[in-house]
A and B are shown apart, each in its own frame.
Chain A
Amino acid sequence: LAKTTQPISMDSYEGQEVNITCSHNNIATNDYITWYQQFPSQGPRFIIQGYKTKVTNEVASLFIPADRKSSTLSLPRVSLSDTAVYYCLEQRGGGADGLTFGKGTHLIIQP
């Protein structure tokens, strides 16, 4: 069963860049790293996915080093509305391994 480790919680302030790191020491060759965001009483929302190096979209960047044993989600210039739980998943093509979300990281943004 694919397993990732993330900090339980993080605090930051509006306008700052926030980096959330996820460890996945046993990542398999065909695993992708995917990040989701969840607000209370809502379903998670896809943020970004990557396999290696760096991926950037309109909301975040994802950095994955060469050994792929960790990844870092980077949120530029956060606002109060970025307060949410962020989940890191190893998603494996061809099977359901990694489709269990851990407890995630509760990010709290303060004014």
Chain B
Amino acid sequence: DGGITQSPKYLFRKEGQNVTLSCEQNLNHDAMYWYRQDPGQGLRLIYYSQIVNDFQKGDIAEGYSVSREKKESFPLTVTSAQKNPTAFYLCASSRGAAGLTYEQYFGPGTRLTVT
């Protein structure tokens, strides 16, 4: 089955620790995205990548880092600099690198709790 996988589904960390969220896709999509969703809110873009070895900041990139070494993978690291890391994190992908009007396919999400 083609799709996007995110692991783990639930993640618990102590404050001050960096944590990396996994996102893998086998859709052969060029573009990948990371979003954050807080309770009762919409999704906010953290980072996006249109092609391997290239990525751009979204609206709320501070305290996060990403890499895009392979087309299939776009891991997100939540660093200790992120003030309020507890949230639901969603990864998405879309075909095509030039335009961003393509349909996005979302993974099941990772719920991160930092105490």
Contacts and interface: CB of A to CB of B under 8 A. Distances in A.
B106 A49 contact: no
Nearest to B102: A91
A96 B103 contact: no
Interface stretch (A16-24, A59-67, A68-76, A98-106): A98-106
Contacts of A1: 59
A93 B100 contact: yes
Contacts of A104: 42
Interface residues on A, range: 20 to 34
A82 B43 CA distance: 20
B100 A91 contact: yes
B92 interface: yes
Given A41-B88, A96-B56, 13 more contacts: A32-B101, A42-B108, A43-B109, A46-B103, A87-B43, A92-B101, A93-B100, A93-B101, A94-B98, A99-B33, A100-B43, A101-B43, A104-B42
Interface of A: 1, 32, 34, 36, 41-46, 49, 87, 91-96, 98-104
10 contacts: A1-B59, A41-B111, A43-B108, A91-B101, A93-B101, A96-B100, A99-B58, A100-B44, A100-B45, A100-B59
